[in-house]
Amino acid sequence: MTRTRQPSEQTATIPTVPTMPARVAFVGSGPGDPGLLTVRARDLLAAADVVVLDGLMREEAVLGHAREDVQIIDAAHGENGQELTHAVRAKLVVKAAKSVSNGGLVVRLMDGDPATFNGLVEEARACRKAGITFDVVPGVSAATAVATYAGVPLTSKGTSSVHVLNADQSGHDLTRYCTDDDTLVILGSPRSIGLALTGLLECGRPAEAQVALVEQGTTVRQTSFTTTLGAAEAALDRLTGQISAAVVSPNVAMRDEFSWFETKPLFGWKVLVPRTQAQAGSMIDRLAAYGAVADVVPTISVEPPRTPQQMEKAVRGLVTGRYEWIGFTSTNAVRAVRERFEELGLDARAFAGLKVAAVGGVTADALREWGINPDLVPSGEQSAAGLLEVWPEFDEVLDPINRVLLPRADIATETLVAGLRDIGWEVDDVTAYRTVRAAPPAQHVRDAIKGGDYDAVLFTSSSTVRNLVGIAGKPHPATVVACIGPATAKTAEEHGLRVDVLAPEASALSLVDALAGHGVGLAVAAAETGQALQRPSDKRPASRRRAR
């Protein structure tokens, strides 16, 4: 007998999964130097759905760690440019958290350290009231970092205590800070800092007390100088209005001994890098380590070949065993082949049994990122000629196949092809990509190049010289010209440029190091003659000089 299930008197209900609310992370971004961002802050930025900023000034440097689709909210100013209060900022944070989908993350990025003068308490309370959980990630505070970057130790045997004063808040009892053995770090607006310094003088701190005034602290645009408390009010007029802090301390006298940041070999230099953003990453980082700021101006655009059939035939030959070697002469070649592989559903396994050569370390690194460890990389000159020097001759006994694949640019030179044929190899020289001249940069960039606003320009190939001059004009005679090798230097001279620096090795990082060595030489020469050290852009005639 068949039994049928009778419907239950009570309909069963499926329990619903509660919606996970968004969470907020109050994250310190440090006082200005992007390198002071903590590892935890970087990881949270990478996971953020929304980032709420104190301002957009440092968006590019800090948000390079965030996803491309991240939503950015400026909590510093309203639609009409008015400065927002802490209460309004708190509402923005809560609103952003409520708008994020299930379990999302809002990063409230705060300058310096969240717990120092940033309205953390008010914003955190608003989150708590709205039922939103939050984390707090401390950051490097301007209270300590700015003085350190200015070469002023906060403590020494001669200092009894350290105080931090928020000059923007009223009602301070400045008599507490009149002992000249103490270190006092004053943060706030230029006007508030000036009033605080005047108040210290009036309440009894000696007029000869040492003061360091710092603007744009911890950045490569930092400017600092020493004065006394009695002369501080007049000295404030020398600043541009972006003062970071004033440090009142007997340790200010140690600046000549402990200055480490503003004495970097390229400190404050503005360097032009005629490369694509993707190619210039390592150069930008190395320039920053020497104290310079880089402006990247693309001079070429990489595009697919006009007729892709040749490349498709080469890839099929690679897979079917047509070649003994494949040689990569640039990261662009690696990228072009990899993209073609992915379009055809292939991966690095197709290189099994094939010998792989790379023109230099950067190209080799691009191959390793793809999972391919090159068999041949020149240890000396990293160029087509250098690769040819270490490439083995064809041997009928040892080499079962005599053919080499070279996926290159449409404008590549014949040096490597001719050389390989001379030592017995058959070469398929295939156009993997085309290089075309990039569009001219914005007018203000062209004016800066021709007007001498840049302290140096780094040329990494002859094409960068030709293309930069073609799209933007010749760099000003005051601009230091640095070239990666003799061929590039010759092209620069043919275009009427004076070459000041030549890299000892044909690599981008060696070029930056050589420029830094040139900067050291300028500093030594200035010291020997007793003159103040000037950046190259400061040596232009006054009538041609532009404000930075």
The CA distance from 66 to 47, in Å, is: 7
Q: What is the torsional sign of CA 397, 398, 401, 402?
A: negative
Domain CATH number, residue 182: 3.30.950.10
Its domain, for residue 274, covers: 270-299+440-538
Query: Is 430 part of a structural domain of the chain?
Result: yes
CATH number at residue 509: 3.40.50.10090
For residues 111 and 140, is the Cβ–Cβ distance under 8 A? no
Question: Is the domain of 48 the same as that of 130?
Answer: yes
Domain-located, residue 11: no
Residues 282 and 333 in one domain: no
User: How many other β-carbons are positioned within 10 Å of the β-carbon of residue 69?
Assistant: 6
**Is residue 546 a part of any domain in this protein?**
no
Assess whether 319 and 282 both reside in one domain.
no
| Final residue belonging to a domain, choices 140, 173, 196 | 140
**Domains contained in the chain, number:** 4
445 and 401 belong to one structural domain: no
DSSP β-bridge partners for residue 481: 457
The pLDDT value recorded for residue 305 is 86
Strands 243-248, 183-187: pairing is: antiparallel
The answer to whether residue 83 sits within a structural domain is yes
Residue 265 lies in a domain: no
Whether residue 317 sits in one domain with residue 433: yes
Residues 33 and 128 in one domain: yes
Confirm whether 239 is domain-assigned: yes
Q: Does residue 112 sit in the same domain as residue 203? A: no
Q: Are residues 409 and 421 in the same domain?
A: yes
76 contact partners, CB below 8 Å, separation of at least 6: 53, 54, 55, 56, 83, 84
The CATH number of residue 55's host domain is 3.40.1010.10
In a domain, 264, yes or no: no
Q: Are residues 242 and 277 in the same domain?
A: no
Q: Which of 108, 140, 172 is the last residue before a domain boundary? A: 140
Does residue 9 sit within a domain? no
Amino acid at 13: T
- The pLDDT assigned to 189 comes to 84
d(CA 83, CA 234): 28
Same domain flag for 122 and 167: no
Chosen domain end from 140, 160, 182:
140
For residue 139, which of 21, 268, 45, 215 has the smallest C-alpha distance? Answer: 45
d(CA 353, CA 93): 57
Give me the pLDDT at residue 548, please.
Answer: 45
CB contact set of 23 (below 8 Å; sequence gap of 6+): 97, 103, 104, 105, 106, 132, 133, 134, 135
Q: Is there a single domain that holds both residue 365 and residue 433?
A: yes
Burial of 320 (0-12, 13-18, 19+ CB in 10 A): exposed
Residues 431 and 454 in one domain: no
Q: What is the pLDDT along the chain (548 residues), one digit of tens a residue?
A: 333 334 444 444 555 545 667 899 999 999 888 889 999 999 999 999 999 988 655 566 677 788 888 999 988 877 777 888 889 999 999 999 998 877 899 999 998 899 887 789 999 999 999 999 999 999 999 999 999 999 999 999 888 799 999 988 888 899 999 888 899 999 988 888 999 999 999 999 999 999 999 998 998 888 898 999 999 888 887 766 667 799 999 999 999 899 999 999 999 999 999 987 667 778 998 999 999 989 999 988 888 888 888 888 999 898 888 999 999 998 889 999 999 898 888 988 989 889 999 988 888 989 999 999 999 999 877 778 889 999 999 988 888 889 999 998 887 778 889 999 999 999 999 999 888 888 899 999 999 999 999 999 999 988 899 999 999 999 999 999 999 989 899 999 999 999 999 999 878 899 999 999 999 999 999 989 988 888 999 887 654 444 44
| DSSP SS3 for 302 | strand
Q: How far is CA 271 from CA 455, 457, 463, in A?
A: 6, 6, 18
